[in-house]
A and B are shown apart, each in its own frame.
Chain A
Amino acid sequence: MLNLTCKWKNMLSRTNIGEFEEIVILTIGVLGENAYGHSIKLEIEKRLKRAVSMGALHTGLYRLEEKGYLESRLGEVTNVRGGKPKRFFKVTASGQKAVKNAMDSRKKLWDSIPEGVFKLFPAK
Chain B
Amino acid sequence: MNLPPKILYWLLDSICPTDRQDLKGDFIELYHYRCNNSGRLKANAGFIRDIITTIPLTWIIKKKKTNQRIPFMLLAHMKTARRTLVRNKMYSFINVTGLSVGLSACLLITLFVRDELSFDKQIKDYERIYRISGNYQQGVDSRVSSAATTFLLQPLLQEKLSGVEASSRVEFRFDEITAENKDYLQSDIAYADSTFFDIFSLPFIHGNPASALDDPTQVVVDRETALKFFGEENALGKSITMKDKHFTISGVIENMPANMHFFAHVIFPISGIKQWYADWVFSNISGRSVYTYVKVMKDHDVGKLENQCNGILKANWPQKDGVPQLILQPITSIHLGPAMQGETKPNGTETDVYIFCITAIIILLLACINYINLSMAAALPRSKEAGIKRVLGSTVRMMLGQFQTESFLVLVISGLIASCIMDVYADA
Contacts and interface: CB of A to CB of B under 8 A. Distances in A.
A40 B187 CA distance: 94
B50 A54 contact: yes
B57 A81 contact: no
A38 B54 contact: no
Nearest to A79: B1
A74 interface: yes
A87 B25 CA distance: 9
Interface stretch (A20-28, A55-63, A91-99): A55-63
A51 to B, nearest CB: 10
Contact of A62 (B3, B21, B49, B57): B57
Contact of B54 (A36, A41, A58): A58
A80 B1 contact: yes
Contacts of B28: 81-82, 84
B347 to A, nearest CB: 70
A85 interface: yes
A38 B24 contact: no
A5 interface: no
A55 B50 contact: yes
A29 interface: no
A41 B30 contact: yes
A85 B57 CA distance: 19
> Could you tell me the dominant secondary structure of chain B's interface residues?
helix
Interface in B35-75: 49-57, 60-61
Contacts of B53: 53-56
A54 B27 contact: yes
A56 B27 CA distance: 13
Contacts of A37: 22-23, 25-26
Interface residues of B, number: 25
A60 to B, nearest CB: 10
Contact of B22 (A41, A56, A84): A84
A86 B54 CA distance: 17
B33 interface: yes
B22 A59 contact: no
A55 B23 contact: no
A40 to B, nearest CB: 9
B29 interface: yes
Contact of A81 (B29, B51, B52, B56): B29
B5 to A, nearest CB: 13
Contact of A85 (B1, B21, B49, B51): B21
Contacts of B52: 55
A58 B57 contact: yes
B25 A84 contact: yes
Nearest to A63: B60
Contact of B24 (A41, A53, A56, A82): A82
A58 B12 CA distance: 15
13 contacts: A36-B26, A37-B23, A38-B33, A41-B30, A54-B26, A54-B53, A55-B50, A55-B53, A62-B60, A80-B1, A81-B28, A84-B22, A84-B25
Given A38-B33, A42-B33, A62-B61, 17 more contacts: A36-B26, A37-B22, A37-B23, A37-B26, A38-B26, A41-B26, A53-B53, A55-B54, A55-B55, A59-B60, A79-B1, A80-B29, A81-B25, A81-B26, A84-B22, A85-B21, A86-B25
Interface of B: 1, 3, 21-30, 32-33, 49-57, 60-61
Interface of A: 36-38, 41-42, 53-56, 58-59, 62-63, 74, 79-82, 84-87
In the A-B complex, the 10 residue pairs with the smallest Cβ-Cβ separation, listed nearest first, are A55-B53, A84-B25, A87-B22, A37-B26, A81-B25, A54-B50, A53-B53, A82-B28, A55-B54, A59-B57
